[in-house]
Amino acid sequence: AQSVTQLGSHVSVSEGALVLLRCNYSSSVPPYLFWYVQYPNQGLQLLLKYTSAATLVKGINGFEAEFKKSETSFHLTKPSAHMSDAAEYFCAVSTTGGGADGLTFGKGTHLIIQP
Amino acid sequence: DSGVTQTPKHLITATGQRVTLRCSPRSGDLSVYWYQQSLDQGLQFLIQYYNGEERAKGNILERFSAQQFPDLHSELNLSSLELGDSALYFCASSVEGGRGWADTQYFGPGTRLTVL
């Protein structure tokens, strides 16, 4: 069975600073990995996904994530935080691509942007 | 707007009751997924349907059931409701939803269920 650990339920950064949200996964087979963002009172929106092609994945809104097999990590970064980035971020893993078993989500990290 | 619609937006009911949540997937998507989001358990996958057939089951209770109709909309039925069933229920859809397909799942806005 797969699992996801997101370190830090809350992360606070200043506007313009680097954003780093941590995600470690556990999977017995090569995983597919996803980052989703949830704004207040809304559904989840896909930021980016890793599907075993390039290890550095670029997503929407300036976010990117790097798959590191040796560290079983898929951390999300953004060079310069913007106030509009304040939201809940979820890392998710699947062993079948997201289909045929659903997604396994981490607990989420609430990103706070300080002005 | 993801293109996935869910009704109702809010639902308040009493313990022991039964409710039905409805989801319409994006046009052209064949797979529908149901997830439950609660403070205790986080986001949990409940069940997946593909083109009318059940494809995968997650942590879905026996009191809960779902189906996907010929027009591809889906309903999640929750019965004998308990206080602990209060949560946000999301529906998501994807084009394919099969093994090896890194489908993007598009999420609806959710139905907030409150059991009193």
Structure confidence by residue, pLDDT tens digits, B21-67:
999 999 999 999 999 999 888 999 999 999 999 988 888 999 999 99
Mean pLDDT for B68-95 is 96
The answer to whether the CB atoms of A97 and B99 lie below 8 A apart is yes
Per-residue pLDDT for A97 more than 80?
no
pLDDT, greater one: B62 or A96: B62
**What is the distance between the alpha carbons of residues A55 and A47, in angstroms, rounded to a whole number?**
15
> Which chain A residues are within 8 Å of B44, Cβ to Cβ?
105
pLDDT, greater one: A1 or B8: B8
Nearest to A36 by CA among A84, A83, A106, A96: A106
Mean pLDDT for B83-101 is 84
Which pLDDT score, from 0 to 100, does residue A99 have? 52
Which pLDDT score, from 0 to 100, does residue B1 have? 83
Which pLDDT score, from 0 to 100, does residue B97 have? 62
Q: Which residues pair with B63 in a beta bridge?
A: none
Which pLDDT score, from 0 to 100, does residue A111 have? 97
Among B2, B56, B106, the residue with its CB nearest the CB of A100 is B56
Which pLDDT score, from 0 to 100, does residue B54 have? 92
In chain A the beta strands, taken as DSSP E runs, fall at 3-7, 10-14, 19-26, 32-38, 44-50, 56-58, 64-68, 73-78, 87-94, 104-105, 109-114
**What is the distance between the alpha carbons of residues B19 and B86, in angstroms, rounded to a whole number?**
12
Residues 60-79 of B with CB under 8 A from A: none
Q: Which of B105, B106, B107, B111 has the most A C-beta neighbours within 10 Å, making it the best mutation to test the interface with A?
A: B105
Among A97, A102, A108, the residue with its CB nearest the CB of B42 is A108
The answer to whether the CB atoms of B48 and A99 lie below 8 A apart is yes
Per residue in A32-87, pLDDT tens? 899 999 998 888 999 999 987 788 999 999 999 999 999 999 999 999 999 999 99
**What is the distance between the alpha carbons of residues A39 and A89, in angstroms, rounded to a whole number?**
9
Nearest to B105 by CA among B64, B50, B53, B58: B50
Which pLDDT score, from 0 to 100, does residue A115 have? 93
Q: Which two tokens stand for residue A46?
A: 């896909």
Sign of CA dihedral B25, B29, B30, B36: negative
- Contact in structure between B92 and B35 (CB atoms under 8 Å): yes
The answer to whether the CB atoms of A100 and B97 lie below 8 A apart is yes
Per-residue pLDDT for B98 more than 80?
no
Mean pLDDT of chain A: 90
Per-residue pLDDT for B100 more than 60?
no
Distance (Å) from the C-alpha of residue A15 to the closest C-alpha of chain B?
Answer: 27
In chain B the beta strands, taken as DSSP E runs, fall at 5-7, 10-13, 19-24, 31-38, 42-50, 53-57, 64-68, 74-78, 87-94, 106-107, 111-115
The answer to whether the CB atoms of B94 and A102 lie below 8 A apart is no
Which pLDDT score, from 0 to 100, does residue A28 have? 74
Which pLDDT score, from 0 to 100, does residue B40 have? 87
Which pLDDT score, from 0 to 100, does residue A31 have? 83
Residues 18-57 of B with CB under 8 A from A: 31, 33, 35, 42-48, 50, 55-56
Which pLDDT score, from 0 to 100, does residue B101 have? 59
